[in-house]
Amino acid sequence: MIPVLAIDGPSGSGKGAVGMAVAERLGWHYLDSGAVYRALGLAAGWQGIACDDEAKLRDLAAGLDLRFVAADGGEPAVFANGRECGALLRSPETANAASRLAALGSVREALLDRQRAARSAPGLVADGRDMGSYVFPDAFLKVFLTASAEVRAQRRYDQLKAKGFGVTLSQLIQEIRERDERDARRAVAPLKPAEDAVVLDSSALGLQEVIDRVLAMAKSRQ
């Protein structure tokens, strides 16, 4: 069986940066499942589909032509139905749209196979909310990264500022709290650690320290 290392956690926990770095070190593939939900949110917006129109969203999800095109040394370019998502993929508005449609069971179901299809040799690092608990329950290592809402908001603030978005810290703390609550409370695949996940609080840890800890755990289990 092709090994999967699942990294889940809330927004700003650092799971994206950690997941990408760990995948690179291991020479494995990397699945950014949040980008799948975000791209669907954007594509829905382009087609004028509301974030609570479950039937239309499910059909859009089932037929979505989603492509990740590797870019030199940075995040891949993401295309949804042939249109480039660009910087909008990471905007707070897109994050909110993603979080709203991610609460719909049939939409999640429609995205399941394409996430599982990312499992390919020699291995996969899967980053998201339900990678260890639902999408890849047989992952050999499940890490659940957390950090306080303030620390996560500060990280998101730094990232979004660097990308040119006009945001304020207090607005981000508020949005992160709202999104956490929606993600944790939803009936399907709520944000919570898998029973066999290792919970790692990164509030007081630097990025490299978290990467090293995850790599050490992966090594000790292989």
Interacting residues with ligand C5P (CB under 6 A): 11, 33-34, 37-38, 95, 98-99, 102, 128-130, 179, 183
Burial of 82 (0-12, 13-18, 19+ CB in 10 A): exposed
Nearer Cβ to ligand C5P (95/172) = 95
Nearer Cβ to ligand C5P (41/123) = 41
Nearer Cβ to ligand C5P (61/95) = 95
Separation between Cα atoms, residue 103 and residue 105, nearest integer Å: 6
Nearer Cβ to ligand C5P (113/220) = 113
The kind and range of the H/E element at 69 are: strand 66-69
Min dist CB 130 to ligand C5P, Å, is 5
Min dist CB 16 to ligand C5P, Å, is 7
Give which of 30, 2, 22, 3 is closest to 127, Cα–Cα: 30
Min dist CB 56 to ligand C5P, Å, is 18
- Is-contact 183 190, C-beta < 8 A? yes
Min dist CB 10 to ligand C5P, Å, is 8
Enumerate residues 6+ apart whose C-beta is below 8 A from 199. Answer: 144, 146, 193
